Amino acid sequence: MNASAAIDSSAPDQLSRAQEYVLAVTVAVVTANAYYIHPIIGEVAASFDVGEARIGIVPALNQLALALGIFLLLPLGDRYPNRSLCILFVALQSVFMLGMALAEDFALFTAASTLLGFVTIAPYLIPAFASKRVAPERLGQVTALLTVGVIFGILVARVGAGVVAERLGWRAVYWCAFALMAAVTLALPLAMKSEGGAAKRPAGSYGALLASVFALGRRHPGMLVSAAIQGLNFAMFTATWLALALHLTSPELGYGVDTVGYLAGLAAVSIVTTPRLGRLADRIGALRARVMAAGVQAVGLALLYPLGWSAWGIAVPLVVVNMVGPTIDVTGRMTFLALEPAIRTRLTTVYIVVMFLGGALGSLLGPAVYDWAGWAGTSAMLVACSLCVVALSTLSLRAGDRGRPGRNAGA
């Protein structure tokens, strides 16, 4: 009995439903920072007198810095308390968001955005934190809930940025974002539980900790496949919305940035569908659920060109894509968040680094391909990428990944 008590006292406390929702809201606010620029990218470019291709540098460097920051900083989550790291880096995000609001020069604005990306690790620490504090049979549900937080943050960022910029100018968007970040910085110590009992943490130097990330990647090839799939998925996401903002506000269509924001509101459908699809993945397995989601997403993206000549028409493929796109991420994470707790943060590091490398690629390709080949070229690129996601997801299912523990990772 004493031994059992000792084991129980060393285990982290389970999260309550209320705490799960608080963490989802925290993820939403912190995630939003990278996406305010999506609907207002044309306004920011005009303000700093830079071209459409050059303005893509801002989100691209933000994504590259995020990938670098995740690689250098996220592994610390397997050594130091996740709660302390989240509080520190959210506070730093607030500082750099203030820098973006105040910047009067394109180089300074870009630098602040890049540094903001570098310290954005809290949204990726929190799922690993939560995965250690929920029952295995609820992993898909809780991962989906936190993914809904990401979706909601992106939704609020894109809708809010478009509406606020149309009425108050693009700079007001970043002042509002700074106010939200300041509030989260103050609230976060209460939003996350303490670490609980002592956990097994990797020994050795910081360099050895980083090196272990590569070793873990080699040991878990299924996670690498999931990372590649999500990297392509995220590249499509960023390219779609950056190109769409330029397409809708072009002289050919003539919509305002608020229309881009309103269309971004269609992502609200994923707030309803993602938890349900997460529960489906718990039942049928992450790999099968991912193939289904990837197939539906490819159909949606194939409709972008024929329906992409009015706001009403383009709403149809956007609804389809938003219904299933986040589930590709949820199921990808499920393939490794069911593994031993001591390595989850470092596996998340590999996954998220590859994801944001894809995001950086999409940030460059979206405006550049649109500038070069218009909406037709952009749509063709997105369809080609979506077919690659379908192919990789199908190959992963056929391979089976049957060596992974639990149904969450298997077929």
- State the pLDDT at residue 388: 94
Q: What is residue 172's predicted lDDT score, i.e. its pLDDT? A: 93
Give the residue from 377, 366, 269, 359 showing the smallest Cα distance to 315. 269
- For residue 334, report the phi and psi dihedrals to the nearest 5 degrees: -60, -25
pLDDT-derived band at 2 (thresholds 50, 70, 90) equals very low
Q: Tell me the pLDDT band of 317, cut-offs 50, 70 and 90.
A: very high
pLDDT of residue 9: 43
pLDDT in tens, 128-150: 777 777 777 777 777 778 878 88
CATH code of 74's domain: 1.20.1250.20
Q: Of all residues in the chain, what percent carry a pLDDT higher than 70?
A: 90
With bands split at pLDDT 50, 70 and 90, how would you rate the model's confidence at 194? low
Does residue 140 sit within a domain? Answer: yes
pLDDT of residue 173: 92
Q: Is the pLDDT of residue 1 over 70?
A: no
- With cut-offs at 50, 70 and 90, classify the pLDDT of residue 201: low
Alpha-carbon distance 382 to 359, whole Å? 13
Cβ count near 16 (within 10 Å): 11
In the predicted structure, residue 390 carries a pLDDT above the cut 60: yes
For the segment 158-183, what is each residue's pLDDT rounded down to a tens digit? 778 888 888 888 899 999 999 999 98
* C-alpha span between 58 and 65 (Å, rounded): 11
Domain that holds residue 254: 16-192+207-399
Q: Is the pLDDT score of 402 beyond 50? A: no
Angle at the Cα of 320 (from 165 to 261), degrees rounded to 5?
5
Does 343 have pLDDT greater than 60? yes
Q: Which of 26-30, 123-127, 253-257, 279-283 has the highest mean pLDDT?
A: 26-30
Query: Is 5 within a domain?
Result: no
Number of domains in the chain: 1
Mean pLDDT value across the chain? 82
- Range ranked top by mean pLDDT from 89-103, 191-205, 268-282, 345-359: 89-103
Please check the confidence at residue 7 and state whether its pLDDT lies above 70.
Answer: no
Query: Domain for residue 331, yes or no?
Result: yes
Residue 411: inside a domain: no
Q: Label residue 5 by pLDDT band (50, 70, 90).
A: very low
Q: What is the DSSP string of 54-107?
A: HHTHHHHHHHHHHHHHHHHHGGGGGTS-HHHHHHHHHHHHHHHHHHHHH--SHH
SS3 category, 221: helix
Residue 4 lies in a domain: no
- What percent of the chain clears pLDDT 90, i.e. is strictly above it? 25
pTM as predicted: 0.71
Tell me whether residue 308 is in a domain: yes
Residue pLDDT, tens place only, 274-315: 878 878 888 888 889 999 999 999 999 999 999 989 889 999
pLDDT band at 193 (very low <50, low <70, confident <90, very high): low
Task: Say yes or no to pLDDT of 205 above 80.
Answer: no
Q: Tell me if 408 is assigned to some domain.
A: no
